Amino acid sequence: MQIITNDELKYLLQITDLILLDVREHYEYEQGHIPGALWFPLNRIGELASFWSFDTKLVVICNTENRSAAACRYLKSHGFKNLFYVVPGMKAWDGPLTTAGCPMLTRGTNSIKQVYFDHAATTPVDPQVASAMWWYLTQEFGNPSSAYYYGRRSKEALFKARHQVAQLIGANEQEIIFTSGGTEADNTALWGILKALPPERRVLITSAIEHAAILNNIPALEKAGYRVIVLPVTDTGLVEPEVLEQALSSKVGLVSIMYANNEVGTIQPIAELVKLAHQVGAYFHTDAVQAVGLCSIDVNQLQVDALSLSAHKIYGPKGVGALYLRDGTPYLPFIYGGAQENQRRAGTENVAGIVGLGVACQRICQQLKNVEYLKELRDYLEDSLKLLSGVTIHGHPTQRLPNNCCFSISDYSGQDLVLDLDVYGIACSSGSACQGKQPSHVLQAIHVPEKQIKQAIRISLGWSNTREEIDYFISVLKELTGE
Kindly list the domain boundaries of the chain, sorted by start residue.
2-109, 127-368, 369-481
Query: Which helix (H) or strand (E) segment is 444 a member of?
Result: helix 441-445
As annotated, the active-site residues are 434
* Residue 3: partners with Cβ closer than 8 Å, 6 or more residues away: 65, 84, 85, 86, 87
CB 310 within 8 A of CB 185: yes
Three-class DSSP category at 458:
strand
Q: Which CATH architecture has domain 369-481?
A: Alpha-Beta Complex (3.90)
Query: Which helix (H) or strand (E) segment is 176 a member of?
Result: strand 176-179
Distance CA 149, CA 128 (A): 25
| pLDDT at residue 231, as a whole number | 98
User: How big is the chain by its Cα radius of gyration, in Å?
Assistant: 25
> Taking the chain (483 residues) in consecutive chunks of 10 residues, what is each chunk's mean pLDDT?
86 80 86 86 71 82 87 85 88 85 49 88 96 94 92 95 98 98 98 97 98 98 98 98 98 99 98 98 98 97 98 98 98 92 90 98 93 97 96 96 97 94 92 66 96 97 97 96 86
Q: Strand locations in 346-463, DSSP E?
A: 391-394, 404-409, 426-427, 456-460
Protein fold of 2-109: Oxidized Rhodanese; domain 1 (3.40.250)
Protein fold of 127-368: Aspartate Aminotransferase; domain 2 (3.40.640)
pTM of the model: 0.86
CB 45 within 8 A of CB 71: yes
Distance CA 77, CA 47 (A): 14
Helix boundaries (H) for 261-346: 270-279, 299-302, 340-343
CB 458 within 8 A of CB 266: no
CB 88 within 8 A of CB 6: yes
Query: Which helix (H) or strand (E) segment is 356 a member of?
Result: helix 351-367
Distance CA 203, CA 249 (A): 9
Distance CA 154, CA 38 (A): 48
With CA atoms as reference, report the closest residue to 391 among 441, 457, 440, 438. Answer: 457
With CA atoms as reference, report the closest residue to 400 among 246, 291, 283, 321. Answer: 291
| pLDDT at residue 103, as a whole number | 53
Q: How far is CA 329 from the centre of its chain?
A: 29
CB 55 within 8 A of CB 28: no
Three-class DSSP category at 375:
helix
Q: Quick one: 49 exposed, middle or buried, by C-beta within 10 A (0-12, 13-18, 19+)?
A: middle
Q: 127-368 and 369-481 share one CATH topology? A: no
